[in-house]
DNA sequence: CGGTTACATCACAAACATGTGATGTTCTGA
DNA sequence: TCAGAACATCACATGTTTGTGATGTAACCG
């Protein structure tokens, strides 16, 4: 459902959300702890920095930190920079036009899934995700 | 959400469901009418034949036809032969274990989407899709 | 029976996603 | 100030998906 790269970005963001306020984390450590190839994670973190989700600091005490508190970032914000360019609005059955007023035979059923996905990404913050997992670990 | 190839398979199956009982359709025509490259569609149809969704007939009057009435095929059956091998059960946050009893922070919210998708694919037949679109065109 | 029409199959190419390795650049702190 | 540690960047390798072209093979029909 999400590409590998999108997943990796999410893992990194959740990782940084978990240790928000605890200083910067090194790319190498994030990569190790999330099970992502180190150099690949570097590139992902760099893109997240360009997108304003994280900030990077160079030098001996450098690393990455979340650019704002976890409750200010929706998952959509984290994932969007890595989405492929294909239009999410393409008709499943290949019709040139397919909308609520002029739907293909699968439109309504398919729409349920698209909307569930959007509501997950646009309605969930990093804080939601780490709270859930922490209430869980207690 | 679905790969391109899975979509193409669905388009072909829906196309053949629409003209079920009207004889075989040629691969070239299916490709043209669904907007899929002809040779690529050929391979997809061949795999659908191997999966038992369609039957092929060679020779001058040959082509493809659905192997049974449209109401006997769920979309899952059409799409499954083309699904990538990646495990659908992988944890979104990369945890080694992630289940209902030991969930990651995103598990429950993510599960909603996975189940909506499964219920769409496993609960919708080709007949459902073409009926919808025909009641619509009337 | 032979040619045409269709599917079947093989070989390959382009595009993209994913991953690896090496090198440059900036900052910190002794 | 300078060496080391960290991010930044470049170049490239690999694998998969998607797409193209050519050729083989079976069936129909005149």
For B54-102, what is each residue's pLDDT tens digit?
A: 999 999 999 999 999 999 999 999 999 999 766 667 888 888 889 999 9
For A104-135, what is each residue's pLDDT tens digit?
A: 999 999 999 999 999 999 999 999 999 765 55
Chain B hits for A104, Cβ within 8 Å: 133
Give A138's pLDDT tier (boundaries 50, 70, 90): very low
Specify the pTM. 0.91
Is any atom of nucleic acid chain D found less than 7 Å from the CB of residue B60?
A: yes
For A29-52, what is each residue's pLDDT tens digit?
A: 999 999 999 999 999 999 999 999
Is any atom of nucleic acid chain C found less than 7 Å from the CB of residue B53?
A: no
For B110-126, what is each residue's pLDDT tens digit?
A: 999 999 999 999 999 99
* B32 C-beta neighbours (distance < 10 Å), count: 12
Position A87 scores a pLDDT of 64
Position B87 scores a pLDDT of 64
Position B95 scores a pLDDT of 86
Chain B hits for A127, Cβ within 8 Å: none
Burial of B117 (0-12, 13-18, 19+ CB in 10 A): buried
Q: Which of B71, B105, B106, B136 to mutate to test the interface with A (most CBs of A within 10 A)?
A: B105
CA distances from A25 to A10, A64, B11 (A): 15, 5, 47
């Amino acid at each position: 459902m999400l590409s590998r790269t999108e997943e990796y970005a999410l893992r990194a963001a959740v990782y940084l959300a978990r240790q928000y306020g605890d200083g910067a984390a090194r790319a190498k450590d994030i990569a190790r702890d999330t099970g992502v190839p180190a150099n690949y994670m570097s590139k992902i973190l760099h893109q997240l920095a360009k997108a304003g989700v994280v900030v990077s600091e160079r030098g001996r005490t450098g690393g990455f930190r979340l650019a704002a508190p976890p409750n200010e970032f929706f998952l959509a914000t984290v994932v969007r920079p890595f989405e492929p360019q294909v239009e999410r609005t393409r008709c499943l059955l290949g019709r040139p036009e397919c909308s609520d007023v002029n739907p293909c035979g699968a439109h309504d059923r398919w729409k349920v899934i698209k909307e569930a996905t959007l509501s997950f990404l646009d309605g969930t913050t990093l804080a939601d995700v780490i709270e859930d997992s922490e209430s869980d670990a207690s």
